[in-house]
Amino acid sequence: MARKLFRNKSVRGAVRLLTCCSLAFLPIASRGQKVNITVSNSTSEQRSEVVEIDARKVYQRLQSAYGSPLIVRNAFGQQVASQLTSDSLLLVDAAVFPKRKTMFTVTKGVPRNFKSAVDGQLYAWRVDDFTWENDRCAYRAYGPALQRTGEKAFGIDVWLKSVPYLVVADRYANVYAANQEEKRLRRQGETEAADSIKRDFSLHLDHGNGLDCYNVGPTLGCGAPALMNGDSIVMPYCFSSYRVLDNGPLRFRAEFVYQPTDVNGEKGLVEHRLITLDKGSSFNRVTVWYENQRRPQLFCSGFVVHDEGSETVHLGRNFVEYADPTDNPSGHGFQIYVAALFPKGEVRSRLLKNTRLGKGIAGHAICETTIRPNEKVTYYFGAGWIGSGISNQKAWQLEVSSFMEGLYKPLEVNVE
Protein backbone atom coordinates (compact mmCIF):
# COMPACT_ATOMS: atom_id res chain seq x y z
CA MET A 1 0.00 0.00 0.00
CA ALA A 2 2.83 2.38 0.83
CA ARG A 3 4.36 1.98 -2.64
CA LYS A 4 1.02 2.74 -4.35
CA LEU A 5 0.81 6.03 -2.51
CA PHE A 6 4.02 7.25 -4.23
CA ARG A 7 3.46 6.03 -7.78
CA ASN A 8 2.61 9.58 -8.91
CA LYS A 9 5.85 11.22 -10.10
CA SER A 10 4.88 14.68 -8.90
CA VAL A 11 4.21 13.35 -5.41
CA ARG A 12 7.53 11.51 -5.32
CA GLY A 13 9.33 14.67 -6.43
CA ALA A 14 7.65 16.77 -3.78
CA VAL A 15 8.64 14.30 -1.08
CA ARG A 16 12.25 14.32 -2.26
CA LEU A 17 12.29 18.12 -2.28
CA LEU A 18 10.86 18.35 1.23
CA THR A 19 13.37 15.79 2.50
CA CYS A 20 16.31 17.64 0.99
CA CYS A 21 15.11 20.98 2.38
CA SER A 22 14.69 19.48 5.84
CA LEU A 23 18.19 18.01 5.81
CA ALA A 24 19.65 21.28 4.59
CA PHE A 25 18.18 23.16 7.52
CA LEU A 26 19.06 20.62 10.25
CA PRO A 27 22.41 22.20 11.26
CA ILE A 28 20.82 25.62 11.61
CA ALA A 29 17.95 24.23 13.67
CA SER A 30 20.29 22.32 15.98
CA ARG A 31 22.39 25.44 16.44
CA GLY A 32 19.37 27.21 17.79
CA GLN A 33 18.18 24.33 19.95
CA LYS A 34 21.20 23.28 22.01
CA VAL A 35 24.60 24.55 23.13
CA ASN A 36 27.33 22.18 24.28
CA ILE A 37 29.61 23.23 27.15
CA THR A 38 32.91 21.41 27.68
CA VAL A 39 34.84 21.91 30.94
CA SER A 40 38.42 20.60 30.78
CA ASN A 41 40.76 19.84 33.67
CA SER A 42 44.44 19.91 32.66
CA THR A 43 45.69 19.18 36.18
CA SER A 44 46.35 15.85 37.87
CA GLU A 45 43.90 16.67 40.68
CA GLN A 46 40.14 16.17 40.94
CA ARG A 47 38.40 19.54 40.56
CA SER A 48 34.97 20.62 41.73
CA GLU A 49 34.04 24.28 41.47
CA VAL A 50 31.68 26.82 39.98
CA VAL A 51 32.74 27.64 36.41
CA GLU A 52 32.00 30.79 34.44
CA ILE A 53 30.58 30.73 30.90
CA ASP A 54 30.09 33.72 28.62
CA ALA A 55 26.29 34.02 28.82
CA ARG A 56 25.99 36.31 25.80
CA LYS A 57 27.70 33.73 23.64
CA VAL A 58 25.30 31.04 24.88
CA TYR A 59 22.22 33.15 24.12
CA GLN A 60 23.63 34.04 20.71
CA ARG A 61 24.19 30.38 19.85
CA LEU A 62 20.69 29.51 21.06
CA GLN A 63 19.22 32.41 19.06
CA SER A 64 17.37 33.38 22.22
CA ALA A 65 16.70 36.72 23.93
CA TYR A 66 19.28 37.54 26.59
CA GLY A 67 17.96 36.78 30.06
CA SER A 68 15.33 34.26 28.95
CA PRO A 69 15.26 31.05 31.04
CA LEU A 70 17.74 28.27 30.31
CA ILE A 71 18.00 24.61 31.25
CA VAL A 72 21.44 23.11 31.87
CA ARG A 73 21.85 19.33 31.82
CA ASN A 74 24.75 17.06 32.68
CA ALA A 75 26.03 14.10 30.65
CA PHE A 76 23.18 11.92 31.98
CA GLY A 77 20.52 14.39 30.86
CA GLN A 78 19.74 15.50 34.42
CA GLN A 79 19.01 19.15 35.10
CA VAL A 80 21.69 20.85 37.20
CA ALA A 81 21.70 24.19 39.01
CA SER A 82 22.86 27.21 37.03
CA GLN A 83 22.85 30.97 37.54
CA LEU A 84 22.83 33.99 35.24
CA THR A 85 24.81 36.75 36.95
CA SER A 86 24.55 40.51 36.79
CA ASP A 87 27.89 40.64 34.92
CA SER A 88 26.68 38.37 32.08
CA LEU A 89 28.07 35.04 33.22
CA LEU A 90 26.31 31.68 33.18
CA LEU A 91 27.48 29.70 36.21
CA VAL A 92 27.51 25.91 36.49
CA ASP A 93 28.85 23.74 39.31
CA ALA A 94 31.30 21.35 37.62
CA ALA A 95 33.14 18.29 38.91
CA VAL A 96 35.94 17.24 36.55
CA PHE A 97 38.13 14.14 36.72
CA PRO A 98 41.93 14.70 36.46
CA LYS A 99 43.09 15.21 32.85
CA ARG A 100 39.55 14.81 31.54
CA LYS A 101 36.47 16.74 30.49
CA THR A 102 32.92 17.17 31.76
CA MET A 103 30.09 17.95 29.35
CA PHE A 104 26.93 20.03 29.79
CA THR A 105 24.17 21.01 27.39
CA VAL A 106 22.16 24.21 27.50
CA THR A 107 18.69 24.57 25.99
CA LYS A 108 15.86 27.08 26.12
CA GLY A 109 13.22 26.43 28.75
CA VAL A 110 12.14 27.01 32.30
CA PRO A 111 14.41 25.05 34.69
CA ARG A 112 13.21 23.37 37.84
CA ASN A 113 13.87 25.10 41.14
CA PHE A 114 17.10 24.32 42.97
CA LYS A 115 17.85 25.12 46.59
CA SER A 116 20.36 27.92 46.87
CA ALA A 117 23.78 27.11 48.32
CA VAL A 118 24.49 30.78 49.07
CA ASP A 119 22.72 33.74 50.64
CA GLY A 120 23.49 37.20 51.94
CA GLN A 121 21.30 39.85 53.52
CA LEU A 122 21.13 42.74 55.97
CA TYR A 123 19.81 42.15 59.49
CA ALA A 124 18.85 45.69 60.47
CA TRP A 125 17.58 44.76 63.94
CA ARG A 126 21.05 43.41 64.74
CA VAL A 127 22.69 46.88 64.37
CA ASP A 128 22.94 46.49 60.59
CA ASP A 129 24.81 43.20 60.43
CA PHE A 130 25.31 42.04 56.87
CA THR A 131 25.92 38.29 56.88
CA TRP A 132 26.52 35.99 53.93
CA GLU A 133 27.17 32.26 53.63
CA ASN A 134 27.73 29.30 51.36
CA ASP A 135 27.62 25.59 52.10
CA ARG A 136 30.93 25.73 54.00
CA CYS A 137 31.08 28.90 56.11
CA ALA A 138 29.42 32.25 56.88
CA TYR A 139 30.86 35.74 57.26
CA ARG A 140 29.66 39.02 58.75
CA ALA A 141 30.41 42.67 57.97
CA TYR A 142 29.42 45.43 60.38
CA GLY A 143 27.10 48.23 59.26
CA PRO A 144 26.39 51.90 60.00
CA ALA A 145 24.09 51.29 62.97
CA LEU A 146 26.95 49.61 64.84
CA GLN A 147 29.32 52.46 64.01
CA ARG A 148 26.83 54.94 65.49
CA THR A 149 27.04 53.09 68.81
CA GLY A 150 30.78 53.78 68.97
CA GLU A 151 31.69 50.10 69.33
CA LYS A 152 35.10 49.38 67.82
CA ALA A 153 34.45 46.42 65.52
CA PHE A 154 36.26 46.93 62.24
CA GLY A 155 36.91 43.66 60.47
CA ILE A 156 35.09 40.67 59.02
CA ASP A 157 33.62 38.08 61.38
CA VAL A 158 33.54 34.31 60.81
CA TRP A 159 30.49 32.19 61.56
CA LEU A 160 31.33 28.50 61.49
CA LYS A 161 29.04 25.94 59.82
CA SER A 162 28.90 22.15 60.01
CA VAL A 163 26.00 21.58 57.57
CA PRO A 164 25.71 22.29 53.82
CA TYR A 165 22.33 24.02 53.92
CA LEU A 166 21.63 27.68 54.71
CA VAL A 167 21.49 28.47 58.43
CA VAL A 168 22.13 32.17 58.99
CA ALA A 169 18.56 33.45 58.65
CA ASP A 170 17.34 30.81 61.10
CA ARG A 171 20.10 31.67 63.56
CA TYR A 172 19.09 35.31 63.55
CA ALA A 173 15.38 34.49 63.83
CA ASN A 174 16.01 32.11 66.73
CA VAL A 175 18.23 34.47 68.66
CA TYR A 176 15.79 37.37 68.12
CA ALA A 177 12.89 35.34 69.55
CA ALA A 178 15.10 34.06 72.37
CA ASN A 179 16.18 37.61 73.26
CA GLN A 180 12.54 38.68 73.62
CA GLU A 181 11.74 35.67 75.79
CA GLU A 182 14.86 36.18 77.90
CA LYS A 183 13.89 39.80 78.59
CA ARG A 184 10.38 38.75 79.58
CA LEU A 185 11.68 36.13 81.99
CA ARG A 186 14.15 38.53 83.60
CA ARG A 187 11.41 41.11 84.11
CA GLN A 188 9.47 38.44 85.99
CA GLY A 189 12.51 37.56 88.07
CA GLU A 190 12.93 34.10 86.52
CA THR A 191 16.70 34.34 86.27
CA GLU A 192 17.43 30.63 85.94
CA ALA A 193 14.94 30.19 83.09
CA ALA A 194 16.29 33.32 81.37
CA ASP A 195 19.87 32.01 81.62
CA SER A 196 18.73 28.71 80.13
CA ILE A 197 17.09 30.45 77.15
CA LYS A 198 20.21 32.54 76.56
CA ARG A 199 22.44 29.46 76.63
CA ASP A 200 20.15 27.34 74.44
CA PHE A 201 19.97 29.93 71.65
CA SER A 202 23.29 31.75 71.93
CA LEU A 203 25.02 32.42 68.61
CA HIS A 204 28.31 31.72 70.38
CA LEU A 205 27.53 28.07 71.20
CA ASP A 206 27.06 25.15 68.80
CA HIS A 207 23.46 23.90 68.68
CA GLY A 208 24.05 21.43 65.87
CA ASN A 209 24.98 23.47 62.79
CA GLY A 210 27.92 25.63 63.89
CA LEU A 211 28.51 28.83 65.85
CA ASP A 212 30.15 32.25 66.08
CA CYS A 213 33.23 31.90 68.28
CA TYR A 214 35.66 34.12 66.35
CA ASN A 215 36.97 37.28 68.02
CA VAL A 216 37.12 40.39 65.81
CA GLY A 217 37.20 43.50 68.01
CA PRO A 218 39.28 46.50 66.83
CA THR A 219 41.10 44.47 64.15
CA LEU A 220 40.87 43.28 60.53
CA GLY A 221 39.16 40.13 61.77
CA CYS A 222 39.39 37.61 58.93
CA GLY A 223 40.25 39.18 55.60
CA ALA A 224 39.20 42.84 55.79
CA PRO A 225 41.24 45.16 53.54
CA ALA A 226 42.95 48.35 54.71
CA LEU A 227 45.40 51.06 53.76
CA MET A 228 48.57 51.52 55.77
CA ASN A 229 50.41 54.45 57.29
CA GLY A 230 53.95 53.17 57.66
CA ASP A 231 53.68 50.07 59.84
CA SER A 232 50.22 51.00 61.12
CA ILE A 233 46.97 49.67 59.66
CA VAL A 234 44.32 52.32 59.02
CA MET A 235 41.23 50.41 60.13
CA PRO A 236 38.26 50.75 57.74
CA TYR A 237 35.42 50.73 60.35
CA CYS A 238 31.86 49.87 59.17
CA PHE A 239 30.29 50.02 55.70
CA SER A 240 28.02 52.99 54.93
CA SER A 241 26.04 51.38 52.09
CA TYR A 242 25.79 48.14 50.17
CA ARG A 243 24.10 46.54 47.17
CA VAL A 244 23.58 42.85 46.48
CA LEU A 245 24.43 42.05 42.86
CA ASP A 246 23.92 38.28 42.81
CA ASN A 247 22.35 35.97 45.37
CA GLY A 248 22.25 32.33 44.38
CA PRO A 249 21.84 29.56 43.81
CA LEU A 250 25.59 29.25 43.09
CA ARG A 251 27.15 32.66 43.72
CA PHE A 252 26.72 35.51 46.19
CA ARG A 253 28.17 38.88 45.19
CA ALA A 254 27.80 42.27 46.85
CA GLU A 255 29.48 45.67 46.86
CA PHE A 256 30.13 47.53 50.12
CA VAL A 257 31.03 51.22 50.24
CA TYR A 258 32.80 52.81 53.21
CA GLN A 259 32.92 56.28 54.74
CA PRO A 260 35.51 58.75 53.36
CA THR A 261 38.77 58.58 55.21
CA ASP A 262 42.04 60.57 55.21
CA VAL A 263 45.24 58.55 54.76
CA ASN A 264 48.82 59.70 54.22
CA GLY A 265 47.80 63.23 53.27
CA GLU A 266 45.05 62.15 50.87
CA LYS A 267 41.59 63.28 51.89
CA GLY A 268 38.21 61.70 51.26
CA LEU A 269 39.35 58.25 50.12
CA VAL A 270 36.23 56.09 49.67
CA GLU A 271 36.73 52.33 49.75
CA HIS A 272 34.69 50.05 47.51
CA ARG A 273 34.76 46.37 48.42
CA LEU A 274 33.31 43.78 46.01
CA ILE A 275 32.94 40.37 47.70
CA THR A 276 32.13 37.12 45.87
CA LEU A 277 31.46 33.74 47.49
CA ASP A 278 30.68 30.61 45.46
CA LYS A 279 29.13 27.31 46.39
CA GLY A 280 31.73 24.83 47.62
CA SER A 281 34.52 27.36 48.06
CA SER A 282 36.48 27.93 51.26
CA PHE A 283 37.48 31.38 50.03
CA ASN A 284 35.84 34.70 49.23
CA ARG A 285 37.15 36.73 46.31
CA VAL A 286 37.54 40.43 47.16
CA THR A 287 38.19 43.27 44.74
CA VAL A 288 39.00 46.65 46.30
CA TRP A 289 39.41 50.14 44.86
CA TYR A 290 39.37 53.70 46.19
CA GLU A 291 37.62 56.81 44.95
CA ASN A 292 39.60 60.08 45.00
CA GLN A 293 42.98 58.33 45.16
CA ARG A 294 45.69 60.38 43.44
CA ARG A 295 48.91 58.64 44.40
CA PRO A 296 50.09 55.11 45.28
CA GLN A 297 49.14 53.81 48.71
CA LEU A 298 50.33 50.82 50.71
CA PHE A 299 47.48 48.30 50.91
CA CYS A 300 47.05 45.16 52.98
CA SER A 301 44.74 42.39 54.09
CA GLY A 302 45.14 39.56 56.54
CA PHE A 303 43.79 38.55 59.92
CA VAL A 304 44.07 39.21 63.62
CA VAL A 305 46.54 37.05 65.55
CA HIS A 306 45.74 36.31 69.18
CA ASP A 307 48.29 35.74 71.93
CA GLU A 308 47.33 32.11 72.33
CA GLY A 309 48.31 30.18 69.22
CA SER A 310 50.43 32.94 67.65
CA GLU A 311 53.12 30.33 66.94
CA THR A 312 50.83 28.76 64.31
CA VAL A 313 51.09 31.76 61.94
CA HIS A 314 52.49 30.76 58.55
CA LEU A 315 53.87 33.55 56.35
CA GLY A 316 54.01 32.35 52.75
CA ARG A 317 55.38 34.15 49.71
CA ASN A 318 51.93 35.39 48.68
CA PHE A 319 49.66 34.23 51.50
CA VAL A 320 49.29 34.09 55.27
CA GLU A 321 47.46 31.37 57.22
CA TYR A 322 46.86 30.64 60.87
CA ALA A 323 45.08 28.43 63.41
CA ASP A 324 42.99 30.81 65.54
CA PRO A 325 42.26 29.58 69.10
CA THR A 326 38.56 30.74 69.19
CA ASP A 327 37.13 32.96 71.92
CA ASN A 328 37.34 30.11 74.45
CA PRO A 329 40.04 27.54 73.60
CA SER A 330 39.59 25.37 76.69
CA GLY A 331 35.81 25.34 76.30
CA HIS A 332 35.54 24.71 72.55
CA GLY A 333 38.59 22.53 72.09
CA PHE A 334 39.02 23.25 68.35
CA GLN A 335 40.74 25.82 66.15
CA ILE A 336 39.47 28.14 63.40
CA TYR A 337 41.70 28.04 60.34
CA VAL A 338 41.97 31.35 58.47
CA ALA A 339 43.95 32.60 55.48
CA ALA A 340 44.43 35.55 53.14
CA LEU A 341 45.79 34.89 49.64
CA PHE A 342 47.29 37.28 47.08
CA PRO A 343 47.88 35.17 43.95
CA LYS A 344 48.97 38.07 41.71
CA GLY A 345 51.34 41.02 41.94
CA GLU A 346 54.28 41.90 44.14
CA VAL A 347 53.36 40.98 47.69
CA ARG A 348 55.15 41.01 51.03
CA SER A 349 53.82 38.90 53.90
CA ARG A 350 54.70 39.78 57.48
CA LEU A 351 53.59 39.81 61.10
CA LEU A 352 52.75 43.19 62.62
CA LYS A 353 53.00 43.03 66.39
CA ASN A 354 50.32 44.75 68.46
CA THR A 355 51.15 47.67 70.66
CA ARG A 356 47.70 49.08 71.45
CA LEU A 357 44.90 46.91 70.00
CA GLY A 358 43.79 45.36 73.26
CA LYS A 359 44.16 42.46 75.63
CA GLY A 360 44.83 39.08 74.06
CA ILE A 361 45.70 40.47 70.61
CA ALA A 362 49.24 39.71 69.43
CA GLY A 363 48.91 41.67 66.18
CA HIS A 364 48.10 40.96 62.53
CA ALA A 365 49.47 38.64 59.87
CA ILE A 366 49.16 40.50 56.58
CA CYS A 367 50.03 40.50 52.92
CA GLU A 368 50.86 43.99 51.72
CA THR A 369 51.14 45.44 48.24
CA THR A 370 50.81 48.80 46.51
CA ILE A 371 47.50 50.05 45.12
CA ARG A 372 47.69 52.84 42.53
CA PRO A 373 45.10 55.39 41.41
CA ASN A 374 42.34 53.91 39.23
CA GLU A 375 43.63 50.42 40.04
CA LYS A 376 41.84 47.49 41.66
CA VAL A 377 43.41 44.85 43.90
CA THR A 378 41.95 41.34 44.06
CA TYR A 379 42.71 38.86 46.81
CA TYR A 380 41.01 35.99 48.66
CA PHE A 381 40.21 35.19 52.27
CA GLY A 382 38.45 32.34 54.02
CA ALA A 383 38.05 30.11 57.04
CA GLY A 384 37.34 26.53 58.03
CA TRP A 385 37.21 24.24 61.03
CA ILE A 386 36.83 20.60 61.97
CA GLY A 387 33.06 20.85 61.50
CA SER A 388 33.46 21.81 57.83
CA GLY A 389 35.90 19.02 57.08
CA ILE A 390 39.22 20.72 57.91
CA SER A 391 40.62 18.27 60.43
CA ASN A 392 43.79 20.17 61.39
CA GLN A 393 46.16 22.92 60.25
CA LYS A 394 48.00 20.60 57.86
CA ALA A 395 44.70 19.92 56.12
CA TRP A 396 44.09 23.68 55.96
CA GLN A 397 47.52 24.23 54.41
CA LEU A 398 46.60 21.67 51.74
CA GLU A 399 43.30 23.51 51.19
CA VAL A 400 45.20 26.76 50.67
CA SER A 401 47.71 25.14 48.30
CA SER A 402 45.01 23.39 46.29
CA PHE A 403 42.98 26.58 45.92
CA MET A 404 46.02 28.60 44.81
CA GLU A 405 46.94 25.90 42.29
CA GLY A 406 43.41 26.09 40.91
CA LEU A 407 43.75 29.85 40.43
CA TYR A 408 46.96 29.40 38.48
CA LYS A 409 45.53 26.55 36.39
CA PRO A 410 41.82 27.32 35.94
CA LEU A 411 39.39 24.89 34.38
CA GLU A 412 39.01 25.55 30.65
CA VAL A 413 35.50 26.21 29.36
CA ASN A 414 34.52 25.83 25.70
CA VAL A 415 31.15 26.79 24.20
CA GLU A 416 30.11 24.92 21.04
pLDDT for 236: 86
Q: Are 159 and 211 in contact (CB under 8 A)?
A: yes
Q: 157-160 and 222-229 as β-strands: parallel, antiparallel, unpaired? A: unpaired
pLDDT tens, position by position, for the chain (416 residues)?
A: 444 434 454 444 444 544 444 433 434 334 569 999 999 999 999 999 999 999 999 999 999 999 999 999 999 999 999 999 999 999 999 999 999 999 999 999 999 999 999 999 999 999 999 999 999 999 999 999 999 999 988 999 999 999 999 999 999 999 999 999 999 999 999 999 999 999 999 999 999 999 999 999 999 999 999 999 999 999 989 999 999 999 999 999 999 999 999 999 999 999 999 999 999 999 999 999 999 999 999 999 999 999 988 999 999 999 999 999 999 999 999 999 999 999 998 999 999 998 677 889 999 999 999 999 999 999 999 999 999 999 999 999 999 999 999 999 999 999 99
- 256: which strand partners? 242, 273
185 to each of 93, 173, 194, 201, how far by Cα in Å?
A: 48, 19, 5, 15
DSSP designation for 75: T
pLDDT for 355: 65
Q: pTM (2 decimals)? A: 0.91
pLDDT for 3: 41
Q: Is the dihedral angle over the CA atoms 258, 259, 264, 265 positive or is it negative?
A: positive
Amino acid at 373: P
101 to each of 46, 58, 109, 414, how far by Cα in Å?
A: 11, 19, 25, 10
Q: Are 212 and 204 in contact (CB under 8 A)?
A: yes
pLDDT for 328: 96
**Max CA-CA distance within the chain?**
102
pLDDT for 42: 97
pLDDT for 272: 99
Q: In 10 A of CB 362, how many CB atoms?
A: 19
pLDDT for 354: 80
